[in-house]
Amino acid sequence: MDIIDIMLAKAMTPQGQTEAYVAKANAAAAKAAKAQEDAEAAVAIVTSAASDIADAQSAAATLLETAEAALETAQAAQGELPTAYGTTGQNTDGYMTQKAVTEALAAKASTSDLAAKADKTYVDQQIAAIPSGGGSSGGSINMDPADANHLVKVDSNGNLVASLATEDAVVEALLRSGAYEAVNAVGLDIDYANRAFTRV
């Protein structure tokens, strides 16, 4: 600055106001520095938020892929289920519903003699029809209480007779052979003379 500028500055600036202008300038500079600091903090917050958003988007994309894979698996499994049919004659590549099976059995029983054969009277009649002697070959049943526990055989004349071997002897022989083990048996004890059956 030359002397003329100094003179002009003094002429334009009221005397004693220089310090006030400097103070205002310093305050303005401090405000600018604070604004810059706030701006930098805001930039840091926005940057962190952008990072969090990116992480959330990545996690959402992974979750979406997992959900899509699960949906595809469920759809494939659903496509493999056999067809459920409601009537007979259609279940060549599927299965019948329980209701259809029940109705089919009910219809079968009503159109046949299944219901009659399930009656105890029918069973009793079949037992009563067992011949007391003689068969298609004219044979007979020749046994008495003394033959209890003996095996039954058919002789050359077609007659049912008691053999010399007893059930106990056969069982004992089988057990001694080591090929069998003693177990509980379930069956029928047949009384041919009285045409009766006893569950054992």
Q: How far lies 85's CA from each of 17, 81, 105, in Å?
A: 104, 12, 15
From the CB of residue 159, how many other CB atoms can be counted at a distance below 10 Å?
A: 18
Of 153, 121, 154, 141, which is closest to residue 191 (Cα–Cα)? 141
For 46, the token pair is 């926005």
Lowest-pLDDT choice from 34-48, 121-135, 175-189: 121-135
The residue with tokens 């056999």 is: 82
Cβ–Cβ under 8 Å, residues 66 and 58: no
Cβ–Cβ under 8 Å, residues 97 and 86: yes
Q: Does the structure show a pLDDT above 60 at 61?
A: yes
Q: Looking at residue 24, what is its pLDDT?
A: 75
Q: What is the DSSP string of 105-155?
A: HHHHHHTSSHHHHTSHHHHHHHHHTS-SS--TT---EE--GGGTTEEEEE-
Q: Looking at residue 120, what is its pLDDT?
A: 66
Report the distance separating Cα 152 and Cα 189, nearest Å: 12
Q: Looking at residue 102, what is its pLDDT?
A: 78
Q: Does the structure show a pLDDT above 80 at 147?
A: yes
Of 160, 119, 164, which is closest to residue 142 (Cα–Cα)? 160
Residue 129: pLDDT band (50, 70, 90) is: confident
The pTM of the full predicted model, rounded to 2 decimals, is 0.28
